[in-house]
Amino acid sequence: MFLALRTKFSRISRELALFAIASFAVGMAGSLVDSTLNNFLNDSFTLSPFQRSFLELPRELPGFIVVFASALLWFLGSRKLGALSLLLGSVGIFLVGFASKTYTVMVLFLFIFSMGQHLFLPVASTIGMELSRDGKTGQRLGQMNAIRNLAAIIGSTLVFVGFKYLNFNYKHTFTIAAACFILGMILMALMKPSKVEKVNRKSFLKLRKEYTLFYVLAVLFGSRKQIFITFAPWVIVTVFGKPTQTIATLIVIGGIFGILFQPLLGKAIDKLGEKVVLASEAVLLIVVCLGYAFGKTFFSMNVAFYIACGCYLLDQVLMSVGMARSTYMKKIALQESDIQPALSASITIDHLFSISIALIGGEIWNRFGFQYVFIFGVLIAIINFFAAMRIKIPAQKNDLILAEDSAINPK
């Protein structure tokens, strides 16, 4: 068994090894921030639900402008751009921890951190698909996500142990996160520069009608994502009054599930197709939103809390289904050079709507209660289901992918 593992790892290319370790560092940094940011905001600035949701405007604005930044920096190529994005993330989160003297100043530093995060998103998908074999893009993205999940477990465990036993404060976690981003930056910088094709910058800003459904799926993902990122943890922190360790524990558990689920999800995308995977996600999201909305109505506080935790875990795992949108884009791309601009554009589109959902959701919470935010989420999930059912892969392209896969992996 040891020899088999050794042989398998010896076949991993230098570029894939560097990217895998960088992905691990990024995953750990992200979990350290995700585990503590909501509590940091609550403890440092005592935000109301609407103020918390309004904060998503400057936090998610980088996601909206990422397509313009990508167009401006296209000459760097995906790997150098990835290194730059991680540098921004490191500087931003370090300053959030050490220089947030006022709410306004904190918002500025959070913007820098978020700019780095959002620039990295399309780059990570692009590099992952570059380093995959034809017909196995879903599997490769699943493997990279599994690595980030393992890192999230370690990062969140560190938060739990640190805050419970080692007298950690937010400066400790944000410093470690910044160091992880720097490590990821160095590893990305050590990768061979990606081939930079001569791409017209306007191609980053142009929406093609051939990719309309891909853009629609981005709209729906941005809408459902914001409910998970902003309102789900806010329910656990404020409605149920749970401390930092609770979110950290949930991220650890979700990460364990993710390690097992991500590679299987990648294989499911390759075998079953994006339509089945994305439609199934939409059905499960309906269940998740109903659990958040009505758990407290029909059950005791303790049972409702466990239902909310179960919904959080399921939703955390389902966030990974986003890789199906990336593989769908690769399959319908008219040319290879369309992929990164389209992925960047999709992030801009999804953030345009996620910012809107954050503001609308905050107002809904204030006026009617948190339950109605998740009822709104049910509606989004239903629309998502019908959109996913419209997915079609061009026959010629699908046959080519299957033929290439058979050539690589003959039975």
Residue pLDDT tens, the chain, 411 long:
334 434 444 567 888 889 899 999 999 999 899 888 878 887 888 776 666 667 767 777 887 787 777 777 777 777 888 899 999 999 999 999 898 888 888 889 999 999 998 888 878 877 877 777 666 676 777 778 788 878 888 888 898 889 888 888 899 999 999 999 999 999 999 988 766 555 555 555 667 788 888 888 888 888 888 777 778 888 888 778 777 678 778 877 887 887 778 778 888 888 888 889 999 999 999 999 999 888 888 888 889 889 989 999 988 888 888 888 888 888 888 887 777 778 778 877 877 787 777 778 888 888 888 888 889 889 999 999 999 999 888 765 554 444 444 444 444
Max CA distance (Å), the chain: 63
Question: What per-residue confidence (pLDDT) applies to 398?
Answer: 53
Q: Is 195 contained in some domain?
A: no
Q: Is 1 contained in some domain?
A: no
- Structure tokens belonging to residue 293: 């909305």
Question: What per-residue confidence (pLDDT) applies to 200?
Answer: 52
Expressed as residue numbers, the domain containing 75 is 12-190+209-408
Q: Judge whether 248 and 378 are in contact, CB under 8 Å.
A: no
- Structure tokens belonging to residue 27: 């995953």
**Total structural domains within the chain:** 1
Question: What per-residue confidence (pLDDT) applies to 53?
Answer: 64
CA distances from 223 to 168, 203, 361 (A): 34, 25, 10
Q: Is 198 contained in some domain?
A: no
Q: Is 197 contained in some domain?
A: no
User: Which residues of 156-259 form beta strands (DSSP E)?
Assistant: none
Q: Is 200 contained in some domain?
A: no
CATH code for the domain in which residue 84 is found: 1.20.1250.20
Instruction: Give the CA radius of gyration of the chain.
Output: 21
Question: What per-residue confidence (pLDDT) applies to 383?
Answer: 93
216, burial (CB in 10 Å: exposed 0-12, middle 13-18, buried 19+): middle
Q: Model-level pTM?
A: 0.69
Question: What per-residue confidence (pLDDT) applies to 269?
Answer: 85
Q: Is 323 contained in some domain?
A: yes
Q: Is 203 contained in some domain?
A: no
**What is the spatial distance between Cα 323 and Cα 204, in angstroms, rounded to a whole number?**
20
Distance between the two ends of the chain, CA-based, in angstroms? Answer: 23
Q: For residue 377, give the amino acid letter.
A: G
Q: Is 389 contained in some domain?
A: yes
Question: What per-residue confidence (pLDDT) applies to 403?
Answer: 45
Number of helical (H) and strand (E) elements in the chain, helices listed first: 18, 0
Question: What per-residue confidence (pLDDT) applies to 395?
Answer: 63
Question: What per-residue confidence (pLDDT) applies to 233?
Answer: 83
